[in-house]
Structure 1
């Protein structure tokens, strides 16, 4: 099984704090922000401050400083709750939008959690196509696409008993097109371990149709991206 070299992949993309940067398009994509996850955890009994808004704003500001994108896409599951948007969630969302819009165009792609998003934001889309790339959340199959950028599955990988949110890259794995899967942008999301995942284990119908063993994880270590071998090789030596 051929693996894409770290140098080749990093010439094409930047990976930082859960954000994917497509260098040739000056396009940044973040998925699964899940604004309001802290509120849900609080209602479930986790009664200590989680500082969700401050953490998310710091993360977005760092991403903007690193990449200075022309376009920033929030790729679905922007909100956590399906059926309500509290005042606190609205305020956090407004603060994030203000931060992003101060420096670039912002695109809002709807995800499976975002039933309330159009009524709050307006101007949302189901997919974003630009320059041979297609950004969708990943909860539905998609036809007629370029290189696919999706979220939805919150991938993470375990290394030496530690868990790291990770990107997944697959060269030509979807009808001959490349695929990039993004981790959850909200650091309160623990992620779903993919070390031994098979295609059928993923939530996304897109991922269920690819050879999971061919996917290469990308993790961030001290602010720099590290490209790992395909999952097939990781399983062989685990």
Structure 2
């Protein structure tokens, strides 16, 4: 991507702490919050304090302060567990939801993990459309849509043996429409390294039809947003 196109991308979108902000729509999106991941890790034997609720709330507070959105979308896999939501997980969810709703409209999109979400929250949806943008979780194919914003795959890129959660941007990537793939919002999720990923390696049926080499990682490094070359170019110089 040229320097001018990179500037255009950053003019169009804000990227901050795992959140995407669509500037001209005052629309903020995060995906794969996975509330309850800390609890699942404790059950697997990690007994040191993970402070999930405090960390998630701090991130949401910072995002609200940075972007002041009119609409905030939680784009699926809001909960981590498929089959149960503990009292602590429900309380964390309700605390986050209450905080967001004091500032803006909140949209809850059901993801593949969110079998319990409708019973707990009500008013959930499978997609959200606004101003030429379509937000879906990404676990199902989509026919008619605008610029797509999806989650589900938890992309991360490895640079000098360090792993960074990343967004993926694809210009005209899906039926001539642009695509943004979200990283996992929960910092306890390490992400899935996509340096050498092919379309068939992704979980999302949407991404399986995309030229993965043309996707462009966007990462935050020391508070700066860095737009990297398309994956095909990164592979050539790896």
Other-structure match for 2:17 = 17
What does residue 73 of structure 1 align with?
73
Match status 1:162 vs 2:162? yes
After TM superposition, the runs of 4+ consecutive aligned structure 1 residues lying more than 3 A away are 1-4
TM-score relative to the length of structure 1:
0.98
Query: Post-superposition shift, 1:99?
Result: 1.2
Per-residue deviation at 1:5?
2.6
Instruction: State the shift of 1:223 in Å.
Output: 2.0
For the Cα contact (< 8 Å) 1:3–1:216, is it kept in 2? Answer: no
- 1:221 Cα deviation from its structure 2 partner: 1.4
Contact 1:4 1:171 in 2 (8 A): no
SS of match in other structure, 1:5: helix
Task: State whether structure 2 residue 67 is matched by structure 1 residue 64.
Answer: no
CA contact (8 A) 1:214 1:230 kept: yes
Distance in 1 between the 2:214 and 2:193 partners? 16
Gaps of 5+ in 1: none
Does the 8 Å contact 1:170/1:179 carry over to 2?
Answer: yes
Answer yes or no: is the 8 Å Cα contact 1:33–1:186 preserved in 2.
Answer: yes
Once residues 4 and 104 of structure 2 are traced to their aligned partners in structure 1, the CA distance between those partners, rounded to angstroms, is 31
RMSD of equivalent CA atoms? 1.1
Q: Distance in 2 between matches of 1:106 and 1:120?
A: 15
Q: What pairs with 1:81-230 in structure 2 (closer than 5 Å)?
A: 81-230=81-230
1:94-150 CA-to-partner distances (Å, cap 9, x unmatched) read 110011111100000000000000000000000000100000000000011000000
8 Å CA contact retained: 1:157, 1:193: yes
Change (3 A) 1:117 1:16: same
Q: TM-score under structure 2 normalisation?
A: 0.98
Distance 1:3 1:221 in 2: 18
- How many residue pairs get aligned? The number is 238
Q: CA deviation at 1:6?
A: 1.9
